[in-house]
Amino acid sequence: MGFFLDQVVNGVILGSQYALIAAGLALIFGVAGIVNFAHGELFMVAAYALYLGESALGLPYAAAAVFTVIVMVPVGGLFYGVVIRPVAGAGWQKQLVATLAASIVMVNLAIVLAGSLPKTVSSPLAARVAVVGGVHFSLQRVLILGCTLLSFAALHMFLMRAKWGKGMRALAQNRSACAAVGIPVHRMGLLAVVIGSALAGVAGALIPVLSNITPTMGLLLTIKGFAAVIMGGFGNVTGAIVSGFALGLVEAMAMAYVSSAYADAFVFGALIVTLLLRPQGLFGHAVRVS
Amino acid sequence: MKDKRWRMVVALLVPVIGLAACQSSSASPGNGSTTGNGSTTIRIGLSASFSGATAFYGQQAKAGAEVAVGELNAKGGKYKYQLVTADDQCTPDGGSSAFGNLLDVQRVDVILGSPCSAATLGGMTLLPAAKAPALTVSSTSPAITQQAGIGGNKYMWRMNINDDVMATVFSKYIAAQGIKKIAIIAVNSDFGQGAVAAYKKTFAADAVTITTTQFYTQGGGDFRTQLTNIGASGAQAMLIIGAYQDAAVMMRQFKELGLGIRVYARGDVVSTGFQQAAGSPGLGNGIQEADNWDPSYQAYPGFAKAYWQKFHGDPQSYAVQAWLGMQVIAQAVAAGGGGLAGIERGLATVSWSSPIGPVKFDAHHQAHHDMFIMTFDHGMIKMVKRIHTAG
């Protein structure tokens, strides 16, 4: 039982990382209609911002983490202006190439500017370990889980209650109708990318404390984030979050009870099975095409 | 709209062009002294990964080779050395492409590389047609030895000892420390899979039971699940097969989970790179590692000093091994002359008492220098044992 509980905790922690990335991806796709292959690189930029805050500016961890999320707001705006906006109305092929190219450029720029060797950041919570029911975990993991859930709650409130949030949901349902009634489609797209970047900022401010910062740190998370977005129903933020946690649990259980060599096969196998049973994803709605 | 598209194209192209310029900054082909065979300029082509998750291999190897080129050229003599690079992305296809580029376009006299076994195996098939020698200094796959030299690819040479040799020696060492049950956690790559296969054989021969074998993706960052499995497996010790970047993160999570078993490693874990990546000087205390090189730098003080002056940091394994490889090439040139055939001839005669032991190639073009058991002791790197593998 203790071993199972250990692995559940591992899966939830892993899933919270996938969910943070997936939520931003789903939001950008739902509102701007673009599959952002460079989303993991926004996470990487955020991690380097955290490093910059701690090492160059000498900020304590908490201040550096806030600094990171704030920095990601203009970074998101810049990303929208340079990469997303020019291909907003273009075909999916151009959008795919633009975001993929941005991903490659960002990774290699990071290698040139920061080097390929890992950077580390520290938090006072990382070294403090709690033991609950025989399960060991650092308080930084509690912080990650707490901030992740808090971010999702704030995002949910914004989408359900705020005028701009309601506009985003409308846009996700029918872009043409929104444009016809005067909803500022591009400004909504900009806001979605900025919020997505801020979520990547939250991930970048929390996760690197437990790992290292490298130019390619976003690649693996993006792949799993995409799996969560597809599994949840493309563009559905709630679906992406739930699927992120589900994939984390599947991965942990596959590693615990089958083989760590095939954990990824199980993750993507779960995605395929879900799509076979529900082609529209867990939270997507089927559409009848005449 | 057109303006905006142009702005995007320019914004994307400028960094790409800049990167391309950086990658090929070492030298450019066609300068009139590039074909070897009588030329006094020896063009050395470094095949390594310069992009993606394994870019640090190439950056480190290039830095070490650059220091060596500077030293060799400063000594004067008949030959001048010039370094050119190609990105092999640490893959078989990338290796084939990089070796092809270095031989056909850059027209190098000898290839140094690749640090990755997969790329070396992919590229070495091109050597016989070009009659060009290549020396790898970090690839550890036993398959390279099996395919090189007598009865095989006579242009492929390897300075470093391979995983079969290291596993044989290291598992005996571990067994002698009283370990009967061990868990393995390895990077899920050609290197990791090859090393696991080698250790499965040698641990069985030394009556050490492997309780579990766990794999991880390089750069993955979360090893809790694998470590939980290891903790539950009843192992007395854990063998890490992987790079220091991952090992540093792994050891943090090892402590977080409260695991108290002994740790052995194979890769470049006991290194200053680990200490920097760990963020805590005592994190690696007690880890014992089998190494191809001496990470304490006492063996090569001149190089370590020159490296510091040029790059303001400690050289890691790939830098040291590239530097050592360059010395071997210089010895081959001194013995056999320049050009493809001269260096190939010269490599067969190299007999060098290097800082890491004797470098002399056998019939399969494999050298047998010493192996080092290293450890962290109170945050300091110390050599536990130096083991001769020759003979």
Task: Answer positive or negative: Cα dihedral of B46, B51, B55, B60.
Answer: positive
Amino acid at B114: S
| Interface touch B228/A111, C-beta < 8 Å | no
DSSP state of B297: S
Q: Which residues pair with A189 in a beta bridge?
A: none
Q: B373: part of which helix (H) or strand (E)?
A: strand B371-377
Q: Nearest CA of chain B to the CA of A7: how many Å? A: 6
Positive/negative CA dihedral, A238, A239, A240, A244: positive
- pLDDT at residue A174 in the model: 84
What number of other Cβ atoms are within 10 A of residue B207's Cβ?
Answer: 9
Reported as a single tens digit per residue, the pLDDT across B137-187 is 999 988 999 999 999 999 999 999 999 999 999 999 999 999 999 999 999
Check pLDDT > 70 for residue B135.
yes
First to last CA, chain B: 72
Closest residue of A to B189, CA-based?
A: A261
Architecture in CATH for domain B163-291: 3-Layer(aba) Sandwich (3.40)
- Across the range B53-74, mean pLDDT stands at 92
A21 vs A27, A46, A204, B159, CA distance in Å? Answer: 10, 12, 10, 44
Kindly report the nearest CA distance between residue B331 and chain A, in angstroms.
31
Q: How confident is the model at residue B10 (pLDDT cuts 50, 70, 90)?
A: low
pLDDT at position B55: 84
pLDDT digits (tens, 9 = 90+) for A163-215: 999 998 888 888 888 888 888 888 999 999 999 999 999 999 999 998 889 99
Q: How far apart are alpha carbons B109 and B346 in whole angstroms? A: 12
Using a CB-CB distance cutoff of 8 angstroms, which residues of chain A are in contact with residue B216?
Answer: 260
Given this model, what pLDDT does residue B359 score?
A: 96
**Which residues in chain B are closer than 8 Å to A124, comparing Cβ atoms?**
none
Of A105, A120, A212, the CB nearest to B12: A105
Whether the Cβ atoms of residue A211 and residue A79 lie closer than 8 Å to each other: no
How far is the alpha carbon of A251 from chain B, nearest alpha carbon, in Å? Answer: 9
Query: How far A214 CA sits from the closest chain B CA (Å)?
Result: 8
Q: Quick one: pLDDT at residue B155?
A: 97
B269–chain A nearest CA distance, Å: 14
Which residues 247-266 of chain B have a CB within 8 Å of chain A? 248-249, 252-253, 255-258
Token pair of A216, please?
A: 């390619």
The count of other CB atoms within 10 Å of the CB of residue A124 is 12
Question: pLDDT (tens digit, 9 = 90+) per residue, A274-288?
Answer: 889 888 888 877 666
Contact B222 A120 (CB under 8 A): no
Taking the C-alpha atoms of residue A119 and residue A213, their distance in angstroms, rounded to an integer, is: 5
Question: A10: how many CB neighbours lie within 10 A of its CB?
Answer: 30
Q: Give the C-alpha separation, B249 to B220, whole Å.
A: 10
Model confidence over A99-115: pLDDT tens digits? 999 999 999 899 889 88
Helix (H) or strand (E) holding B267: strand B262-267
Work out whether strand B181-187 and strand B237-242 pair parallel, antiparallel, or are unpaired. parallel
Q: Is the pLDDT of residue B25 over 70?
A: no
Least CB-CB distance to A117: which of B12, B226, B273? B273
Q: Which residue has the higher pLDDT, A59 or B23?
A: A59
Kindly identify which residue of chain B lies nearest to residue A112, measuring between CA atoms: B19
User: What are the b/e assignments for A178-200, b being 16+ CB within 10 Å?
Assistant: beeeebebeebbbbbbbbbbbbb
State whether residue B18 sits within 8 Å of chain A by CB.
Answer: yes
Mean pLDDT (whole number) for B39-49: 93
The dihedral of CA B28, B33, B36, B40: what is its sign?
A: negative
Rounded to whole angstroms, how far apart are CA atoms B109 and B134?
9
Q: Which chain B residue is nearest to residue A8, measuring alpha carbons? A: B225
The helix/strand/coil state of B331 is helix
Determine the average pLDDT of the residues in B359-384.
93
Q: What is the ipTM of this complex?
A: 0.83
Q: Is the bond leading into B114 cis (omega within 30 degrees of zero)?
A: yes
Phi then psi for B347, rounded to 5 degrees? -60, -35
Nearest C-alpha in A relative to B51: A108
The CATH homologous superfamily to which domain B2-161+299-370 belongs is Response regulator (3.40.50.2300)
- Judging contacts by C-beta atoms under 8 Å, the chain A residues touching residue B187 are none
What mean pLDDT do residues B287-313 have?
88
| Closest CB from B5, B217, B277 relative to A120 | B277
Distance of CA A198 to the CA centre of its chain: 10
B340 min Cα distance to partner chain A (Å) = 33
Q: Which of A111, A136, A212 sits opposite B248 (nearest CB)?
A: A212
Q: What does the alpha-carbon distance between residue A36 and residue A226 come to, in Å, rounded to a whole number? A: 9
Average pLDDT over residues A128-139: 88
Query: What's the pLDDT band for B27 if we cut at 50, 70, 90?
Result: very low
Backbone angles phi, psi at B211, to 5 degrees: -75, -35
Which helix (H) or strand (E) segment is A39 a member of? helix A39-51
The answer to whether the beta carbons of residues B86 and B107 sit under 8 Å apart is no
pLDDT at A15 over 80: yes
- Sign of the alpha-carbon torsion through A91, A94, A97, A102: negative
**Contact B217/A at CB under 8 A:** yes
- Average pLDDT of the residues in B90-96: 94
Do B225 and A255 make contact, defined as CB atoms within 8 angstroms?
yes
Q: DSSP letter for B391, please.
A: -
> Would you list the DSSP string of B338-359?
SHHHHHHHHHHH-EEEETTEEE
User: Minimum mean pLDDT among A253-267, B90-104, B347-361: which range?
Assistant: A253-267
Mean pLDDT, all residues of chain B: 88
Type of residue found at A269: G
| B312 contact A CB<8A | no
pLDDT tier at B51, thresholds 50, 70, 90 = confident
- Residue B169 pLDDT: 93
Confidence of residue B11 (pLDDT cuts 50, 70, 90): low
- Rounded CA-CA distance B30/B40 in Å is 15
For B290-299, letters b (16+ CB in 10 Å) and e give: bbbbbbbbeb
- Please, is B172 exposed, middle or buried when counting C-beta atoms within 10 Å of its C-beta (0-12, 13-18, 19+)? middle
Distance of alpha carbon A36 from alpha carbon A29, whole angstroms:
7
What's the pLDDT band for B247 if we cut at 50, 70, 90? very high
Is A102–B12 a contact, with Cβ atoms under 8 angstroms apart?
A: yes
DSSP character string of A58-113:
---HHHHHHHHHHHHHHHHHHHIIIIIGGGTTS-HHHHHHHHHHHHHHHHHHHHHH
Of the pLDDT bands very low, low, confident and very high (cuts 50, 70, 90), residue B314 is confident
- Indicate if the alpha-carbon torsion angle A75, A76, A77, A80 is positive or negative: positive
Chain B neighbors of A131, CB-CB under 8 A: 258
CA distance B129 to chain A (A): 34
Task: Locate all alpha helices (DSSP H) within chain B, ordered by sequence.
Answer: 2-23, 55-75, 92-100, 117-123, 127-130, 142-147, 163-176, 190-205, 224-232, 244-256, 272-278, 301-311, 317-336, 339-349
Place of tokens 């010269």: B346
d(CA A290, CA A94): 28
Query: Which residue of B lies nearest to A116 if distances are taken between CA atoms?
Result: B56
pLDDT at B7 > cutoff 90: no
B225–A211 CB contact, under 8 Å: no
Neighbours of B169 (CB within 10 A): 18
Give the nearest partner residue to B5 out of A86, A112, A115, using CB atoms.
A86
Q: Where are the domains of chain B?
A: 2-161+299-370, 163-291
Quote the CA–CA distance of B61 and B326 in Å, as a whole number. 11
Taking an 8 Å cut-off on Cβ atoms, the answer to whether B258 and A13 are in contact is no
- Cβ–Cβ gap A264/B217 under 8 Å: yes
Average pLDDT score over chain A: 90
Instruction: Give the SS3 label for residue B112.
Output: strand
Nearest-CA residue of chain B relative to A223? B220
Residue A265 token pair? 């096969």
Q: Does B220 touch chain A (CB under 8 A)?
A: yes
Chain B residues in contact with A83 (beta carbon < 8 A): 8
Query: Which of A104-113, A120-129, B45-54, B92-101 has the highest mean predicted lDDT (pLDDT)?
Result: B92-101
B81 phi-psi bin (left φ>0, alpha ψ -120 to 50, beta other): beta
Angle in degrees, 0-180, between the axes of helices A2-32 and A217-232, rounded to the nearest 10? 80
